[in-house]
């Protein structure tokens, strides 16, 4: 007899039973993310059929990047879903210039803040390439019942209580951690549920894939250039040369390397000395997932989760994936860099 699949909601409740102090707020919060993911998934799957949800809106976000129509749609869906459950007192998003404080009358007992990239890799939508959503959850540091503050969001990644992503691809998956391993759920549209498909995900200690935009090679630090050449050299003992795989969507590239083993690099460049990826709602949540799966995440010189943030949209260089590969890349950064990475201050 075929065993019935466990849904995301059932799994969260099961896990909560192991923690007597848990009161269900985090369970409800993750349910909000699950609901918004279903709605966004539906719209992404219609992108090739409905012309008015494709393309840009003619404006840029706070980082100066062109906003896509689905960027704004996803941002509003996740924001509305999180506010409705009343466990969240505020959010920060790639699409918002400042943090958003929810109505204190509705969230007077809220303990959590959420940081998110609502639609990572959205420029790929028009060409039918996988995109994703990244989220990071913290317990607020300001007193419950008072308005949310910037300090609630400027917390180092090691203080995250949960993190995850949704990848919208050939199948849609939600992957999350609450600090007790990494678990993946695949969306079954026939029943409208995310079902447990990858329990206790572990990334290989090393791999044969490297993911980086080599078109920017001339702008890379010497340590990164030397590491790329290392990846391309022949060495049977380490299964080199490695294969280059780069999608251009952090979620998609990380998800592949998480399963197969590999390294993703978005370093500082001559034109972006602090890097491009955002610490709080891209690097920190991915770093937490990587470490919980047995991998590693670094800015090239040290642990991502130990960086003390100074601003909401702070950028950092990012090296993430199989632990042995990240450690080798760090050794090249140390050996060929004449100064400390500027992202660490």
Residue 342 DSSP class: G
Whether 256 contacts 245, CB under 8 Å: yes
Same domain? 98 vs 138: yes
Same domain? 115 vs 62: yes
Structural domain of 60: 8-198
Token duo for residue 159: 């203080």
Same domain? 116 vs 193: yes
Q: Where residue 154 falls among pLDDT bands split at 50, 70, 90? A: very high
Same domain? 188 vs 215: no
Q: What is the pLDDT of residues 107-123, one digit of tens each?
A: 668 899 999 999 998 87
- Pairing mode of beta strands 209-211, 243-244: parallel
CA–CA separation, 321 and 296 (whole Å):
6
Assess whether the previous peptide bond of 74 is cis (omega < 30° from 0). no
Q: Where residue 343 falls among pLDDT bands split at 50, 70, 90? A: very low
Please tell me the pTM assigned to this model. 0.92
Average pLDDT over residues 39-60: 65
Whether 233 contacts 307, CB under 8 Å: no
H-type alpha helices, 86-200: none
Torsions phi, psi of 65, nearest 5? -95, 145
CA–CA separation, 332 and 344 (whole Å):
18
Q: What is the pLDDT of residues 11-49, one digit of tens each?
A: 988 887 665 555 678 888 999 999 999 999 998 887 655
Comparing CA positions, the residue from 199, 165, 204, 207 lying closest to residue 182 is 199
Token duo for residue 267: 């370093």
Same domain? 74 vs 174: yes
Per the structure, the count of domains in the chain is: 2
What is the CATH classification number for the domain harbouring 65? 3.30.540.10
Tell me how long the chain is.
345
Write out the H or E segment, with its range, that includes residue 257: helix 250-260
Question: What pLDDT score was predicted for residue 68?
Answer: 74
CA–CA separation, 278 and 312 (whole Å):
9
Whether 28 contacts 9, CB under 8 Å: no
Average pLDDT over residues 129-151: 93
């Amino acid at each position: 007899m075929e065993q019935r699949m466990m849904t995301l909601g059932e799994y969260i409740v099961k896990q909560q039973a192991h923690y007597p102090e848990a009161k269900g707020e985090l369970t409800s919060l993750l349910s909000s993310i699950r609901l918004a993911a279903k709605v966004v998934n539906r719209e992404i799957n219609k992108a090739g059929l409905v012309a008015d949800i494709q393309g840009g809106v003619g404006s840029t976000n706070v980082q100066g990047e062109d906003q896509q129509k689905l960027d704004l749609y996803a941002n509003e869906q996740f924001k509305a879903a999180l506010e409705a459950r009343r466990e969240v007192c505020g959010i920060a998003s790639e699409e918002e210039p400042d943090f958003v404080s929810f109505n204190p009358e509705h969230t007077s007992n809220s303990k959590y803040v959420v940081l998110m990239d609502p639609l990572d890799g959205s420029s790929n939508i028009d060409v039918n390439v996988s995109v994703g959503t990244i989220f990071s959850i913290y317990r607020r540091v300001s007193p419950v019942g008072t308005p949310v503050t910037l300090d609630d969001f400027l917390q180092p990644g090691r203080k995250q209580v949960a993190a995850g992503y949704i990848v919208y691809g050939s199948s849609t998956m939600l992957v999350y951690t609450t600090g007790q391993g990494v678990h993946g759920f695949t969306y079954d549209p026939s029943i409208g549920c995310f079902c447990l498909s990858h329990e206790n995900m572990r990334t290989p200690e090393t791999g044969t894939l490297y993911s980086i935009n080599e078109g920017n090679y001339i702008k890379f630090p010497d340590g990164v250039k030397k590491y790329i050449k290392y990846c391309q050299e022949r060495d049977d003992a380490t299964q080199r040369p490695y294969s280059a795989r780069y999608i251009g969507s952090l979620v998609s590239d990380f998800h592949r390397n998480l399963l197969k083993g590999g390294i993703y690099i978005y370093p500082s460049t001559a034109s972006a000395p602090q890097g491009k990826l955002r610490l709080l709602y891209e690097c920190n949540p991915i770093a937490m997932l990587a470490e919980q799966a047995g991998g590693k995440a670094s800015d090239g010189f040290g642990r991502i989760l130990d960086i003390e943030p100074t601003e909401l949209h702070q950028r950092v260089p990012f090296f993430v994936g199989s632990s042995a590969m990240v450690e080798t890349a760090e050794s090249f950064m140390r050996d060929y860099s004449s100064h400390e990475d500027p992202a660490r201050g």
